[in-house]
Each structure stands twice: as structure tokens, then as C-alpha cells.
Chains A and B, each alone.
Chain A
Amino acid sequence: MNAPSPPLATLENEHPAKSQGLLVWQRFRHNRAGLLAGAVLVALALAVLFAGFLSPYTSSAFHEDANSVAYDYVPPMLTWLHFDGLQPYVYALKRTYNPLTGVKGYAEDGDQRYDVRWFVRGEAYRLLGLFQTNVHLLGTGEPPTSAGQLFLLGTDRFGRDLWSRILYGGRVALGMGPLVVLISFAFGILMGGLSGFYGGLTDTWIQRLVEVAMSLPRLALLLALSATLPPELPPQARFWGIVFILVIVGWAPLARVLRGQVLALREEEFVQASRALGAGDLRLIFRHILPNTLGYLVVAATLAAPSVILLESVLSFFGFGLQEPLVSWGVLMGDLLENFQYQIQFHPWLILPGVFIFVSVLAFNYLGDALRDAIDPFTVVKGAQT
């Protein structure tokens, strides 16, 4: 008892205590792919948040020339961006017509040159939904009817700028993933927790419910369900309808896995000890059991987000999901569907939103994988100091 013990301070210096979070971060830091994926997602999130500023136009502005003829289906102008030293410039748009195929197109008009300027004033928008402004990062600063426009990724059939629409559309696509995951996880945690913690009749009934939910054909049912949303529904209501539908098909697998974990944790000594100390059910669940499933939940959430993005895009692509004026990447690609064979042949840049779906899903998958490795305490990290 009274034997001299080594001073605490030196002990701590030799083996500084590391929090769980710090350990996870140290393992995560060494996964280059995971870091890159995280960076891509952060960049995408920032890009869609500041969509109005980063895009030369707004998502819904139609563009037409002085004769009120729309600049429809302008091809991506990325390759038409020229440089005079460091000063980028574009030429005016000139309409072309191919008598052989009957297809209208555009070409550069070498006579008129328009400089691409930084921080130009253009179409008005709300920055972050708060401040009314009209400053855009890039643009030609020309009036809407001018031929000197900057359609970096081309336009759609009404002359709306695809790059701007992709940025705005990312808000829905990237926002809906976390939103649906949050709601369906809250519900799944509740059901799985109740089922595992109380057992007995509650467990039986919830498990039957899970069984039914997991026997429902996801995509086919989603299509049928969203077909029941009346077309005259306002876009906002439709958005929440789609969220609700995605939650219905999303909660069950999580509830099942969580039930198993809660079932196992319920019998652990630390839970028993807490119970013996007189802790109530709620305290046991939220204070002792759920935090122990947190690692799994974080990984599952990261890996569930891409499937939500995918389902929303598929629904919207086929015209069953969101509708104008709300745009998402799926809605944008849906422009291809009407007269598909013609569109794919002559306006292939309408596929570009799909690239963004792909990149964000890829990033979520990589991030989820890296997180799983980082949270697993048995992962051996090369070069990590222990």
C-alpha cells in the first residue's frame, strides 16, 4: 500500500493515453485512398454549397440570342477556351447546320473575342440561401442575349447551362444521401435497439416486420411507390415523399444487424454492472450499449449513403423521382431518355451528370472502406507510431 509508486507524470510521458478517436484518426491518416476520397467529398460538398458563386449562371436561367432563339444544346465549351498568356477568352457562338444529318450545332466565330473574367456580375442568386448577390467566380460578363457566353459543359434543350445545373443538382444528390441515412438510421436504431434489448414478444414482432421489409423488392417497389405520388404535388413535397420512400426500404437491414449487436452487448459485464447500480433502460441503451455500436454505425452510414444516391438517381432518371424545377443529377440525365437514340448520338454531353454520380459514389465507397479499416483495432498500419 505504502510502497513508493513511480510518479504518474513519467508514466504518462512514456505511454501517453490516446483517446479512441485519436487512434482511429492515426490509422485513417495512413490510408491515402481514404484521405483522397474524403477530400473529394469535402470539395464536392463545398462546390455544391457555393454553387451559385462557382457557376457562371443559375440553374434555371434560359439563354437565348437577340432573336429569342434559345442557345439549345450548345456543346461543352471547355475545348473552346483559349488562352492569351494567362488571360482566358472564348469566341462568340455561331450557329451551324449540317444539311446531311439535319442536325443543328454551334461553332466558334473567330471574329468576336470575349475575355473570361474573374468575379463578374451576372444573374442574381442567393449565396448559401442567405445573401442576395450577383457576383460569379467566372464568366464573360456579357448580357444574356450576347453571343459571348461561357457554357463550360454545354447547355440543355432550353439553353440552360449544364455546369451550373450540375452544381445545383449536386445539392439534392449529395444532400439526400445523408438525410435519408440519418432518418432511416434513427428508425433502424430504434427498432433494432428495442428488439435486441427487450427480446421476447417485442423482438418477435419487430423481427417479423424486418423480415417483411427485407422481402420487398427494393427497386420495383420504389418505382411503384413513386408512381403513386400525384404529379401535381409541389416539388418540395415530392422531395420529402421520395425521402420517405427511401427510408421505408432502407431501415430494415440495419435494424437486423443492430439487434444482433445489442443482444450480445446486453449480456456484457459492464452493462450488467450498470444495471446493478440501478441504471434505467434508457440510460443503459443510450449510455452503455449504443456507444459501443458507434464504430459499426459510422461505417454502415458511410456505405449506405451511396446506395441512397444511386436509388434517387435511378428514380429521377426514369422520371419517377424528383421533378423540375428541383434538379438532381438523375433528373439531369433524364433529359436523355426522351428520344434516347437521337440524344445519345448528337448530344452526348448530357451524360456528364452521371460522371458526378459515379465520382461521389466512388468516394463514399472508398471512405467507408477506409473508415472500416481505421475503426477495426486489429488493422496493422505500416509506419504508424504506436
Chain B
Amino acid sequence: MLNYVLRRLVTTVPLLLVISVIVFWVINLEPGNYCTALRLQGEARYLACLEQTGVDQALPVQYGRWIWGIFTRFDFGFSFQNGQPVLKQLFTAGSWESGTPLLWTLVLSFGAMALSWLLALPIGIYAATHRGGWREGAVNLLGFVGLSVPNFVLAVGLLWALVVVFQVGTHCWQSAQLAQNVCLGVSGLFDGNYVSAPWSFEKVWNLLWHLWPAFLVIGASNLAAIVRYVRGEMLGVLSEPYVQTARSKGLRERVVVYKHALKNALNPLISMLGYWLPSMFEGTLVAAMILQLPTIEKVYWTALRQNDQYVVMAGLLFFSAILIVGNLASDVLLAWVNPKIRYE
């Protein structure tokens, strides 16, 4: 097993190398570069920009330098916007008070995942143990609706419901367009006055208030998928003979369901954890852009808009790495929970 994992990890390196070529090629497909826009401000500015960024060099040279920097110094280049190293820009920019992109991405992705499991398990079990009638239909519908609602539509709809219908939001600011106060306290991670305030009970409370719509947007499709899987697996397991044996022994239904059936129903689901990891990151990408969350995905998005090539490339590599690690994790977990599967 250890052998297998090590071998898979080793093959990740050439895979990422190929992906780095693709990523570099995609970024340079675009006509013009970061400096092109500066031409309008005069040739001198443009030449200085070229000097600084080196985007006019031959593509193989640029690629070679980039990849050499990564292998020798773990240096992914620098951001054209502010000269920061890419890794700092993508992951660790920020302060203790406002948090860093990496921290928020982890909080949002894993938080949404944990929350969707917490909600989905009871619903799935309930649906499996209360068959027939409107309840089953309702859970089925919930599953399909969760799977089908596009997360950007959900995000926009949720904001509309919160702002217009329920009129929540305590954060009012001077709007340039309306020349007066507008209230919207649901996007972002904090209300304006808390962003750089020191941590306190109130700040955490404020954060939690801002987190739940994000969790809902990121986790909705995941939640629906887990409910469907849990229900399906539970139905399968509950019809097995050993469950009947447990019942005929006189065990209470609660013990039968939670101790005998659930354990076996969960096994295949655990292996899905790995597959869902990348989809969480994808969901965070959409949520970050609509709800204005300061995550890695937001940095990536900004960089994409500004043609900030090294940040975009590093971002894409990072997302690929997550995908590869997720796939590997699900394979390993599958073998771990199911002794019948052996990798050599």
C-alpha cells in the first residue's frame, strides 16, 4: 500500500510538469501581454515594464526560467501588480486580523464540506428508514434540486432573498450611485468595520454570520449528492440478511440502524471524500466571486482579469495539484475501507 502511494506520488511530478506546459501555453495564447496596456502611457513606460517583467522574451526561455525557478528555489515568479512573490500573493498575503487567502479557502472549502456532511447524514438516514409517501418524494426532490441549482444562481438568489425579502444587513455605507446609505450586510467575510479590527467575540460572531451563505452556496450540490448516496447505500444495506438477523435478535431499531447498518453504508461514501475535494474548490471559485470572499480563488480571478501571468499559472497548477491529490486520496481511502481492493 505504502509502495503504491509512493509510486502514485512520484508519477504526480511528470503529470504536473505536462500540466505546467499546458498552463503556460494557454496563458500565452492570448495576444498581447501584461505590458501591452501600458503602451498607451508612452513607450518608455512600456519598455520599463518589459525590462521588469521579461514578458517579451522567447516563450521557451520564459518557460525554462519559470520551471527552473520552481525546481531550484520553489520560486513561482512574482506578481506584476505589486512585485510580491506569487506564493505570498496567492496564499499568505494579509495579516493576522484579516486572515490570508489560504486560510479562508481552507475554512470555506472544508467548512462547507463538514457542514454538508453534518446535514446530509441525518436526512439520508431518515429518507432510507421512512420509505414511501411524501417524505421520500420530498427528499428525492431536495436531492435533484440541490444537484440542479447552479451555484451562481443560488448565490445571487440567496443574496436577493436576504437583502430584498428579509431585509437583513446592518452594514450600511455611502453609495456613490444613490448618494446615500445602502445596506447590505451579507457579502464579504466581515462587515466593513470589523475587517482589520483585532479578534474578539463580536468579530467571530460577525464572521459566522457572513460564512453561512457561503457555506450554503458551496455545499448545496455536495449536500444533495451525499443525501442521495447515503439513502441509496442505506437502502442496500438495510435489506441485507445480517440486518434482519440483528432485528430478530431483538435489538432495538436504533441500534440496528446506527450500529449495524450505518457503518457499512458509509464505507463507499468515505472514498468519495477525495472526489469532492476538487468540487469544493470549484464551488469556492464561484462563491468567492459573487460573495466577495478574499480566498485564493479571488486572487486567481483578479490576476486573470489583469493578465498577471505568473499568479494565474501558479493558481492553475495549485488547482490541478488539489485535483490530483483528491483523486489519489479517494483511491487510498477506497482501499482502506474495503479490504477486497488491493493495489500493488
A345 CB to closest chain B CB, in angstroms?
Answer: 6
A278 CB to closest chain B CB, in angstroms?
Answer: 39
Which of A224, A306, A336 sits near B304, CB closer than 8 Å? A224
Are A341 and B182 in contact, CB atoms less than 8 angstroms apart?
yes
Are B156 and A336 in contact, CB atoms less than 8 angstroms apart?
yes
**How far apart are the CA atoms of A314 and B217 in the complex, in Å?**
14
Are B160 and A351 in contact, CB atoms less than 8 angstroms apart?
yes
A223 proximity list for chain B (CB < 8 A):
301, 304
A302 CB to closest chain B CB, in angstroms?
Answer: 13
Within 258-276 of A, Cβ neighbours of B (below 8 Å) are at none
**How far apart are the CA atoms of A296 and B243 in the complex, in Å?**
33
B313 CB to closest chain A CB, in angstroms?
Answer: 9
Are B163 and A345 in contact, CB atoms less than 8 angstroms apart?
yes
Asked whether any CB of chain A lies closer than 8 Å to the CB of B179, the reply is: yes
Which of A218, A313, A318, A344 sits near B163, CB closer than 8 Å? A344
**CB within 8 Å: A-B pair count:** 126
Are A220 and B300 in contact, CB atoms less than 8 angstroms apart?
yes
Asked whether any CB of chain A lies closer than 8 Å to the CB of B159, the reply is: yes
A161 CB to closest chain B CB, in angstroms?
Answer: 21
Are A227 and B304 in contact, CB atoms less than 8 angstroms apart?
yes
Given contacts A223-B301, A342-B178, contact A217 B324 (CB under 8 A): no
**How far apart are the CA atoms of A157 and B156 in the complex, in Å?**
19
**How far apart are the CA atoms of A313 and B281 in the complex, in Å?**
18
**How far apart are the CA atoms of A336 and B153 in the complex, in Å?**
11
Asked whether any CB of chain A lies closer than 8 Å to the CB of B147, the reply is: yes
B281 proximity list for chain A (CB < 8 A):
217
Within 192-233 of A, Cβ neighbours of B (below 8 Å) are at 211-212, 214-221, 223-225, 227-228, 230
Which of A228, A362, A369 sits near B26, CB closer than 8 Å? A228
Given contacts A306-B148, A358-B153, A362-B145, contact A344 B26 (CB under 8 A): no
Given contacts A102-B178, A219-B282, contact A365 B26 (CB under 8 A): no
Asked whether any CB of chain A lies closer than 8 Å to the CB of B316, the reply is: yes
Are A218 and B18 in contact, CB atoms less than 8 angstroms apart?
no
- B 271-288 to A, binary, CB cutoff 8 A, 1 in contact else 0: 000000010011001100
B319 proximity list for chain A (CB < 8 A):
217, 220
Are A212 and B22 in contact, CB atoms less than 8 angstroms apart?
yes
Are B316 and A224 in contact, CB atoms less than 8 angstroms apart?
yes
- B 60-77 to A, binary, CB cutoff 8 A, 1 in contact else 0: 000000000000000000
How many B residues, CB 8 Å from partner? 53
B327 CB to closest chain A CB, in angstroms?
Answer: 8
- Interface-forming stretch among B27-35, B196-204, B251-259? B27-35
Q: Which residue of B lies closest to A211 (CB)?
A: B15
Given contacts A215-B320, A224-B312, A314-B286, contact A358 B150 (CB under 8 A): yes
B324 proximity list for chain A (CB < 8 A):
215
B163 proximity list for chain A (CB < 8 A):
341, 344-345
B36 CB to closest chain A CB, in angstroms?
Answer: 12
Q: Which residue of A lies closest to B31 (CB)?
A: A230
Asked whether any CB of chain B lies closer than 8 Å to the CB of A339, the reply is: yes
Are A365 and B153 in contact, CB atoms less than 8 angstroms apart?
no
A220 proximity list for chain B (CB < 8 A):
282, 285, 297, 300, 315-316, 319
Are B19 and A351 in contact, CB atoms less than 8 angstroms apart?
no
Q: Which residue of A lies closest to B301 (CB)?
A: A223
Asked whether any CB of chain A lies closer than 8 Å to the CB of B180, the reply is: yes
A298 CB to closest chain B CB, in angstroms?
Answer: 19
- A 346-376 to B, binary, CB cutoff 8 A, 1 in contact else 0: 0010010011011001100110010000000
- B 297-309 to A, binary, CB cutoff 8 A, 1 in contact else 0: 1001100110000
Asked whether any CB of chain A lies closer than 8 Å to the CB of B177, the reply is: yes
Are A333 and B19 in contact, CB atoms less than 8 angstroms apart?
no
Asked whether any CB of chain B lies closer than 8 Å to the CB of A386, the reply is: no
**How far apart are the CA atoms of A101 and B164 in the complex, in Å?**
14
Instruction: Kindly name the residue among B160, B163, B312, B323 whose own CB sees the greatest number of chain A CB atoms within 10 A.
Output: B160
**How far apart are the CA atoms of A219 and B289 in the complex, in Å?**
13
Please classify the interface of chain B as helix (H, G, I), strand (E, B), loop, or mixed, using the class held by over half of its residues: helix
A212 proximity list for chain B (CB < 8 A):
15, 18-19, 22
Are B157 and A351 in contact, CB atoms less than 8 angstroms apart?
yes
B29 proximity list for chain A (CB < 8 A):
225, 228
**How far apart are the CA atoms of A220 and B289 in the complex, in Å?**
12
Q: Which residue of B lies closest to A230 (CB)?
A: B31
Asked whether any CB of chain A lies closer than 8 Å to the CB of B115, the reply is: no
Are A344 and B304 in contact, CB atoms less than 8 angstroms apart?
no
Instruction: Kindly name the residue among B148, B177, B315, B319 whose own CB sees the greatest number of chain A CB atoms within 10 A.
Output: B148
Q: Which residue of B lies closest to A103 (CB)?
A: B178
Which of A216, A224, A225 sits near B19, CB closer than 8 Å? A216
**How far apart are the CA atoms of A351 and B145 in the complex, in Å?**
17
Asked whether any CB of chain A lies closer than 8 Å to the CB of B152, the reply is: yes
Asked whether any CB of chain A lies closer than 8 Å to the CB of B184, the reply is: yes
**How far apart are the CA atoms of A357 and B150 in the complex, in Å?**
8
Which of B27, B153, B187, B282 sits near A217, CB closer than 8 Å? B282
B180 proximity list for chain A (CB < 8 A):
101-102
Are B30 and A228 in contact, CB atoms less than 8 angstroms apart?
yes
Given contacts A223-B304, A224-B312, contact A351 B156 (CB under 8 A): yes
**How far apart are the CA atoms of A91 and B14 in the complex, in Å?**
69
Asked whether any CB of chain A lies closer than 8 Å to the CB of B175, the reply is: yes
Asked whether any CB of chain A lies closer than 8 Å to the CB of B9, the reply is: no
Asked whether any CB of chain A lies closer than 8 Å to the CB of B102, the reply is: no
B145 proximity list for chain A (CB < 8 A):
362
B30 CB to closest chain A CB, in angstroms?
Answer: 4
B178 proximity list for chain A (CB < 8 A):
101-103, 342
Are A314 and B152 in contact, CB atoms less than 8 angstroms apart?
yes
A333 proximity list for chain B (CB < 8 A):
152-153, 156
Asked whether any CB of chain A lies closer than 8 Å to the CB of B322, the reply is: yes
A227 proximity list for chain B (CB < 8 A):
30, 304-305
Are A219 and B304 in contact, CB atoms less than 8 angstroms apart?
no
Q: Which residue of A lies closest to B281 (CB)?
A: A217
A-B contacts, 5 of them at CB < 8 A, read A216-B19, A310-B150, A333-B152, A348-B160, A366-B144
Other than A227-B305, A314-B152, A362-B148, give 19 A-B pairs with Cβ distance below 8 A.
Answer: A215-B19, A215-B323, A215-B324, A216-B323, A217-B322, A220-B282, A220-B300, A223-B304, A224-B316, A230-B30, A230-B31, A306-B148, A342-B175, A344-B160, A351-B160, A354-B157, A357-B150, A358-B148, A361-B148
On B, residues with C-beta under 8 Å from A are 15, 18-19, 22-23, 26-27, 29-31, 144-145, 147-150, 152-153, 156-157, 159-160, 163-164, 175, 177-180, 182, 184, 187, 278, 281-282, 285-286, 289-290, 297, 300-301, 304-305, 312, 315-316, 319-320, 322-324, 327
